């Protein structure tokens, strides 16, 4: 699957309309999209729908970019927008919903792989012919 991540920058920026461009540049958004692409490529099912794959990258890129913005705002401006916590949660939920559509592994609500579910034992049942002679 060949995807030009730079084409998704505008979609990320349009979701982050309240973030001034000087606070998060296209270069940072591209890095966030690249990070999202790398993670999603590692967990996506082999034959994931291309549109869903792109949607997941965009939504996870939005989440990562907004996290970068809030981190910068906290450090430099020493304050966060009033709606920051609500928007972070909303962006995370949207990203999770997109990821779950194409993920080959279970995910936790914090967008990490649920390794406990992966290591759960699987029980199997099978039938075989009896080795006990029924005439005895």
Asked whether residue 130 carries a pLDDT value surpassing 70, the answer given is no
The tens digit of pLDDT for each residue in 102-117 reads 999 999 999 999 988 8
Alpha helices in the chain (DSSP H): 9-15, 26-43, 50-72, 84-102, 115-118
Q: Which pLDDT does position 111 carry in this prediction? A: 95
Residue 82, token pair as written in the block: 């009033």
pTM over 0.85: no
The tens digit of pLDDT for each residue in 9-64 reads 999 999 999 898 888 999 999 999 999 999 999 999 999 999 999 999 999 999 99
User: Structural domain boundaries of the chain?
Assistant: 5-115
Q: Which pLDDT does position 76 carry in this prediction? A: 85
Strand partners, 44: 103
Pick the closest to residue 115 from 124, 102, 106, 125 (CA basis).
106
Q: Which pLDDT does position 3 carry in this prediction? A: 83
């Amino acid at each position: 699957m060949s995807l030009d991540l730079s084409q998704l920058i505008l979609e990320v920026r349009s979701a982050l309309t309240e973030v001034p461009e000087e606070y998060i540049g296209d270069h940072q958004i591209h890095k966030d999209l690249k990070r999202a692409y790398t993670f999603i490529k590692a967990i996506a099912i082999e034959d994931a729908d291309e549109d869903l794959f792109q949607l997941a990258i965009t939504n996870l890129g939005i989440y990562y970019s907004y996290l970068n913005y809030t981190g910068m705002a906290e450090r430099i401006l020493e304050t966060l927008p009033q709606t920051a916590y609500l928007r972070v949660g909303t962006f995370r939920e949207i990203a999770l919903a997109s990821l779950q559509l194409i993920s080959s592994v279970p995910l936790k609500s914090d967008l990490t792989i649920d390794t406990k579910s992966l290591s759960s034992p699987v029980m199997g049942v099978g039938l075989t012919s009896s080795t006990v002679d029924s005439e005895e």
